[in-house]
């Protein structure tokens, strides 16, 4: 096994051990200036914007920075995109679509709005036709603009607006989606109304189901745009960590078993290990009282801080693979410490066990090995028992995690039109209870 830790200089202490002190990775001037700003203002308030070019017909686009907050109700700055139709808006205002992207990484330069031409349809790294080192763009952007919708796409906090990214802290990520919609509604030149639908994939799918179970946050007053009407949530291959950790906070033994099982679920290959390790890194970002060396070796903590603070998803996974190969599990401790506090933090960060404020639809594929579909199944069962309207749709064919956005497009576009038309959403809770699939 190649050792990389000898190259690391001693520096400030984070997660219980030292790691090298490096400047944030380079970002464009827009983000560089935002990172120096204080998160002061109303939730959803746009504190910086610049108009950018877009190839979407009939559209105008901006990079924006806006005020948001995290799972601990601490104010943050998030960056992202807002794309809107040109021309006069209807009297009732334009509906808002708020997009939550999948995993791009945790460093400051991993926000999708930072690529050279970001206001385009979704462009995936893994698929034929992908033209970048990362996923970027917004699914169905041209279709939504042509229908007259305003579209927002948050980068999430920590991906261009300063601070450490709270990766897969679904509550924080969902809050960023809500406040991105408030930001759009506050920009008078867009002609946005109050009706809002949120949609997201993978990390963003988890953010969607988290956001729909935040009625008090949605109802807050004194924001940049009060009284948003959330009328639907579309979750593409979502994750829900809390749902696979039942009884985890009963005692230390239960927590140890649940946390160990969750870590084991995502360590079958280096790609999934990178997701899991970033998830722990993100959880610790939201909970500074936790220590990464409760879970990882001292070497592991140093390596993860170095990699995740400076590289995006695919580069990070490649770095771990190059340096550790099949020995990546050596970065984990044999025995986890402080499991109870970790599980409490992870459950708090995940989806609240509260009936969704709007109908939710989940689209999933049978070949998804990145976010196990069982999480969506268990989420649906939980919310159905609470009286929620949750429809879970298996996509035709053998869809993987990465083909889910494209294969679900014909279904959710119509679903959006039906919600905006006031049609009742299909609810297959009763069917799901009998099928158990």
Give CA separation, 416 vs 17, 302, 358, 412, 424, in Å: 48, 45, 13, 6, 11
CA distance 318 to 404: 24
3-state secondary structure of 386: coil
pLDDT at 434: 58
Residues with Cβ within 8 Å of residue 151, at least 6 apart in sequence? 81, 82, 83, 84, 96, 97, 98, 99, 138, 141, 144, 145
In this prediction, residue 14 carries a pLDDT of: 36
pLDDT per position as a tens digit, 362-394: 999 999 999 999 999 999 999 999 999 999 999
CA separation for the pair 213, 210 (Å, rounded) = 5
Residue-wise pLDDT tens digits, 75-84: 999 999 999 9
Q: Which of 82, 52, 85 is nearest to 66 (CA)?
A: 82
Q: Which SS3 state, helix, strand or coil, does residue 77 take?
A: strand
- Annotated domain spans of the chain: 5-24+254-347, 30-242+352-435
To which H or E segment does residue 65 belong? Answer: strand 59-69
How distant, in Å, are the alpha carbons of 48, 63, 134, 135, 248 from that of 29?
12, 12, 20, 22, 44
Confidence at residue 433, expressed as pLDDT on a 0 to 100 scale: 59
- 3-class secondary structure, 100: strand
The predicted-structure confidence for 118-130, as pLDDT tens digits, reads as follows 999 999 999 999 9
CATH number at 30-242+352-435: 3.40.50.1820
Structure-block tokens of residue 342: 């970790």
Question: Residue 340: how many CA atoms within 13 Å on its side-chain side?
Answer: 6
**Conformation bin of residue 168: beta by default, left when phi > 0, alpha when psi is -120 to 50:** left
Q: Can you tell me which residue has the tokens 């008078």? A: 188
- Closest C-alpha to 123, from 55, 206, 174, 184: 55
What local confidence, expressed as pLDDT, does residue 435 receive? 55
- Nearest-angstrom CA–CA distance, 82 and 99: 10
* CA–CA gap between residue 157 and residue 180 (Å, rounded): 11
**Assigned token pair, 313:** 């998803």
Strand-pairing partners, residue 52, are: 61
- Taking 50 as the pLDDT cut, the residues of the chain under it are 1-21, 436-437
State how beta strands 192-201 and 360-364 pair.
Answer: unpaired
């Amino acid at each position: 096994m190649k050792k990389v830790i000898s190259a690391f200089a001693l520096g400030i202490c984070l997660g219980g051990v030292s790691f090298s002190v490096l400047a944030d990775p380079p970002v464009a001037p827009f983000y560089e200036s935002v990172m120096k700003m204080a998160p002061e203002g109303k939730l959803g308030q746009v504190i910086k914007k610049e108009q950018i070019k877009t190839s979407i017909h009939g559209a105008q686009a901006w990079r924006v920075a806006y005020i948001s907050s995290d799972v601990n109700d601490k104010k943050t700055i998030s960056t992202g995109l807002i794309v809107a139709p040109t021309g006069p808006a209807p009297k009732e205002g334009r509906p808002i679509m708020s997009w939550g992207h999948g995993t791009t990484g945790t460093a400051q330069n991993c926000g999708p709005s930072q690529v050279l031409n970001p206001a385009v349809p979704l462009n995936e790294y893994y698929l034929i036709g992908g033209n970048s080192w990362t996923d970027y763009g917004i699914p169905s952007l041209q279709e939504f603009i042509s229908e007259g919708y305003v579209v927002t796409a948050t980068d999430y906090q920590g991906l261009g607006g300063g601070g450490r990214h709270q990766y897969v802290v679904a509550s924080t990520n969902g809050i960023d989606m809500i406040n991105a919609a408030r930001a759009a509604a506050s920009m008078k030149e867009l002609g946005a109304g109050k009706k809002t639908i949120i949609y997201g994939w993978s990390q963003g799918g988890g953010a969607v189901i988290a956001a729909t179970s935040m009625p008090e946050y949605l109802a807050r007053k004194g924001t940049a745009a009060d009284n948003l009407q959330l009328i639907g949530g579309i979750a593409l291959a979502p994750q829900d960590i809390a749902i696979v950790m039942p009884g985890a906070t009963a005692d230390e033994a239960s927590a140890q078993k649940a946390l160990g099982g969750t870590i084991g679920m995502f360590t079958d290959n280096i790609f999934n290990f990178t997701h899991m390790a970033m998830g722990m890194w993100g959880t610790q970002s939201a909970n500074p009282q936790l220590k990464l060396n409760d879970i990882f070796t001292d070497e592991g903590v140093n390596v993860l801080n170095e990699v995740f603070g400076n590289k995006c998803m695919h580069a990070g996974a490649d770095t771990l693979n190059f340096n550790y190969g099949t020995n990546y599990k050596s970065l984990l401790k044999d025995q986890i410490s402080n499991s109870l506090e970790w599980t409490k933090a992870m459950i708090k960060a995940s989806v609240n066990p509260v009936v969704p404020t709007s109908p939710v639809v989940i689209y999933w594929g049978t070949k998804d090995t990145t976010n196990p579909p069982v999480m969506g199944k268990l989420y649906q069962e939980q919310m159905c028992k609470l009286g929620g309207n949750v429809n879970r749709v298996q996509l035709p064919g053998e869809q993987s995690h990465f083909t889910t956005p494209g294969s679900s497009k014909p279904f959710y576009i119509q679903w959006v039109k039906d919600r905006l038309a006031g049609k009742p959403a299909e609810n297959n809770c009763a069917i799901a209870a009998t099928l158990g699939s």
